[in-house]
Amino acid sequence: MRFLLPLAVVIAAPSHAFADDAELRKKDAIEASCNSQTLLEALECLRSHLSEDDHETVVNSSFDKLAMYHFGWGTGIRNSWGLWAGNTPISQYFRDLGVSHPDDMSGIIIDSYWLYFNDCDIQLDKQVAYYQAYWSQEDTEADETSAEAFSFNKNSLECKT
């Protein structure tokens, strides 16, 4: 019985905490129409399907807070773009870059959406290195190369504005 209340709080929190994300989840069917072969194609396709309000919600979010889109919008991207199945051009694009986990793929897409439409350098090489270093640390101790890869953060953003 004492575990039911914490469980209820965890289950109820996402619907309240991510109200803006609920609108983005509605885009799942539209996102399926994107048959992007590159990251830039994916970003342009997403932009063409998002309302101005949804677009502004994302680009006006703090870069550090983009993880809040992981379960709503990110789930829609992972599911509708076949990232789990691995049988779509965009999933193959990421696999060719060395990114194999669908969560990482959608994370790069969401982060890159924010970067691209805030006129920042996407730094795809650093994003890829970040995820590769994360997974390599699962098996081995961190080395200098992986520590440098983890430097992809808000402080390293290169924006024109």
Instruction: Please give the Cα distance from 43 to 36 (Å, whole number).
Output: 9
**Residue 9 has what pLDDT?**
30
State the total domains in the chain.
Answer: 1
Q: 50: Cβ–Cβ under 8 A, 6 or more apart, which residues?
A: 24, 27, 58
**Residue 15 has what pLDDT?**
35
How many CB atoms sit inside 10 A of residue 50's CB?
22
Could you tell me if residue 7 is inside a domain? Answer: no
Could you tell me if residue 14 is inside a domain? Answer: no
Could you tell me if residue 13 is inside a domain? Answer: no
**Sequence letter at residue 86:** G
Could you tell me if residue 28 is inside a domain? Answer: yes
Question: Contact at 8 Å (CB) between 127 and 152?
Answer: yes
Where do runs of H (alpha helix) occur along 36-157?
A: 39-49, 52-59, 73-80, 89-97, 102-117, 124-139, 144-149
Question: Contact at 8 Å (CB) between 102 and 80?
Answer: no
Q: 85: Cβ–Cβ under 8 A, 6 or more apart, which residues?
A: 91
pLDDT by position in tens, the chain (length 161): 444 333 233 222 333 334 455 555 555 555 567 889 999 999 999 999 999 999 999 999 999 899 999 999 999 999 999 999 988 999 999 999 999 999 999 999 999 999 999 999 999 999 999 999 988 876 555 455 544 544 556 666 778 76
List the domain range (segments joined by +) for residue 83. Answer: 19-156
**Residue 153 has what pLDDT?**
60
**Residue 54 has what pLDDT?**
94
Could you tell me if residue 5 is inside a domain? Answer: no
**Residue 159 has what pLDDT?**
82
Could you tell me if residue 2 is inside a domain? Answer: no
Exposed, middle or buried, 107 (CB in 10 Å: 0-12/13-18/19+)? buried
